[in-house]
Structure 1
Amino acid sequence: MPEGHSVHRIARQFAKNFVGRPVGASSPQGRFAEGAAMLSSREMLEARAVGKQMFLRFDGDVWLRVHLGMYGAWDFAGVIDADATIAAANGRMGQTNQRGTVLDEPILDAAGENSLTSIGAPRRARVHVRMSEQTTGLPDEDEQWPPPVVGQVRLRLLTEETCADLRGPTACELQSPDEVVASIAKLGPDPLVDDLAEGEERFVATVRRKPTPIGLLLMDQAVVSGIGNVYRAELLFRARLNPHTPGRDVPEETVRSLWHDWTRLLEIGVQTGQMMTMDDLDPDAYRRAMAHRDDRHWVYHRAGLPCRVCGTAIVVEEAASRKLYWCPNCQA
């Protein structure tokens, strides 16, 4: 499932390539035909991400809410004017790790998580994309435009230069301004949206009154926005926190530390396009981590492998129908 960093990257891509332009809309699949007709020819005015959900505002007070869910993704084609804050992910401005090491050559992940062309569920790009920090001009004359529809496209948004295809979302619906406010009100704080201090207090107050295990609370989008299975496992390990500890029993300073760590990891995820959760890597180790998921995380997807810290076998178990990875020694 795409986690919060991916959705913020998508929103920034829409802000750079669609906001301020009239947008054509269609539903090649047919399942969103009426909604697409309502959107078509309207100017996009705003692109906003909150946690795992994105809200696109069009003139006439019409909003589009999209939740990618487990399998959804946006595929971009045509002229891509990459946001400077995420350009590192496509290699055009180099890539910078947590220690400030600049890597001049792009690092590509064969699984597709680092792909600007398919942002969301990891998959290989199906469409050709020209990318640069500052790209001008229409697609090449020998390229078909608009690009052919591939697969089950729920919604296609199209400007003169850029195409965005939505596949497999959990939610794709039009909302009124009041409905958008109500949708966002149901979500927990997002460090990239809410005031950090206020968000911290909301998060701490909610966690500290809940008997629910912290491993479940971090996945509850009403408690905190954007954290998915990968970030959940990694945040808990980094805090050396047993995932079964009731929220109300987690020390307040630990809860605050979780919020601060989530803020930091989310910013890194938006900048790099990767859920990078290991610190203090030298350039070679950082390059390996950016290219291979197995070198990127402390415990996630490492069931049965030795803990990178203590050597104990990493445990995997089911928690609310999702796999939870943790070290029974470091997180005892």
Structure 2
Amino acid sequence: MIKKISIVGVPMDLGQMRRGVDMGPSAIRYAGVVERLEKLGYEIKDIGDIEIGAADRGHDSSNNLRNLKAVAEGNERLAKKIDGIIQQNRFPLVLGGDHSIAIGTLAGVAKHYKELGVIWYDAHGDLNTADTSPSGNIHGMPLAASLGYGHPSLTEIGKYSPKIKPENVVVIGARDLDDGEKEFIKENNIKVYTMHEIDRLGMAQVMEQTIDYLKNRTDGVHLSLDLDGLDPNDAPGVGTPVLGGISYRESHLAMEMLAESHLITSAEFVEINPILDRENQTAKVAVALMGSLFGEKLL
């Protein structure tokens, strides 16, 4: 893994309706992310936050896409920033913000790889489009948009589409999928480890299979980790908590195994909402998981 990391915050809360997730990057910094990673021997450059515009006025309900213009513009800015980080041969570490920011992250990352793999660590599939979304919230659409499905303002960020291929995606931790997403997964044959598989196989085998699946077919792997992938008891400060999630310790094991694999070339940690949190617990969990991802060991 590259020993130089650039951290960029994306205070985006327009991809959904609950205020507060825009404070996620600040909460993660306050939880000591820079100090944690510097202690592991990384050179850290925190380049601050992407500017996010105001919510769309006179929201056009006809397209079922909440705050489309502001979300798209924020993601365009993020994509350019990520592109620049990779050109400097630095590892991009993105702090969210809601999960709609993955559209910009992947737009900036994928242009540097022929076969970018994605690990989507999340309770949700985020595979909706305007046609299938019950809410119109864009944070439920970033994986679909990155695969080339959805409104052109989202799919064409970075001026190319698609960013990734369905066969290079692995979803881990899914337990709340809309009907349209279930159809999408089946039609595109996307590899998904639901909580059923995690319970049945154990996290070690899920990660072994994921690593084996991706290592020979990809030339880089992006980790998109939504804190609601974890159980709400361990990560309470998220906007869309779903009971029965991945445990804190299972998540550390997953990150430790990814560290040992040397597969991960970019990462984002999203959906931390300090307003819904308890004493910044969820941000502290995120930082601890980053520690494991970047090689921190118990002994």
Same fold, judged at TM 0.5 (above): no
Kindly indicate whether structure 1 or structure 2 has the higher relative contact order, using CA contacts under 8 Å at least 6 residues apart.
Answer: 2
Structure with greater strand share of residues = 1
TM-score under structure 2 normalisation? 0.29
TM-score under structure 1 normalisation? 0.27
Structure with greater helix share of residues = 2
